[in-house]
Amino acid sequence: MLYHYSGMIHTAELIANRKEYAKMELEDRKSLFLALFYFGLKCDIKTKSIIVNKKYLNNKSQLRNNIKQKIYNMLDNDKEYFSKFDSIIIYYDNGQERLMNILKECFSIFNIKIIKDFNHVEERLFQVADMLCVLEKITNLQKNKVKFNNQEKYFFKSLELLNKIKDINKKNLP
């Protein structure tokens, strides 16, 4: 069955077979994922992720400080790369206001433009960023030998995608 999908692709829900993807066949979900995946590979982008495990932090203040410190360290390590640009755009999905404030504070040394109001369906780079975050989570689970949930195990086994994650990781900043 040829499936046409024109909405926002939410990678986590796509993998988990939830929400708008609940009635889609696995093959259709794989096709949709792979279309976004290969589009992401073709994009001239670089990525950098930070991982924060909340279970080792006692309160919101520690969480905020941990996130902030990791972002500052990333920016300090890659300031030469970031300084090449006239401006930096952060697409933000209006999720957590605290995180937005941390991003504003950390990136204030650069000329940044934070875009909160945009068309999530038309902005494919936002969808690629969402996918990359999910793949980073999956990579982190695999690296730490944490078992996948049933949906992740089924989806990625059937896609044999874990080897392909290496391709997308080539887009990471050193």
Report if residue 17 sits inside a domain: yes
Per residue in 31-75, pLDDT (tens digit) is 888 889 889 888 888 888 888 888 888 888 999 999 999 999 988
17 shares its domain with 68: no
Radius of gyration of the chain (CA): 17
The residues pairing with 47 across neighbouring beta strands, listed in sequence order, are 172
Q: How many other CB atoms are there within 10 angstroms of residue 30's CB atom? A: 18
Helices (H) and strands (E) in the chain, counts: 8, 2
Q: Which domain holds residue 74?
A: 54-115
**Looking at the structure, do residues 65 and 106 belong to the same domain, yes or no?**
yes
Backbone phi and psi for residue 112, each to the nearest 5 degrees, phi listed first: -115, 155
- Mean pLDDT (the chain) is 80
Per-residue pLDDT tens digits for 85-131: 877 777 666 667 788 888 888 888 777 776 666 666 567 888 888 88
For residues 142 and 23, which has the higher predicted lDDT (pLDDT)?
23
Tell me what pLDDT residue 159 has: 57
Domain identity same for 40 and 64: no
Torsion over CA: 56, 77, 132, 162 (sign): negative
pTM: 0.78
Residues 4-20: what's their mean pLDDT? 83
Judgement on whether residues 98 and 77 belong to the same structural domain of the protein: yes
Same domain, 58 and 90: yes
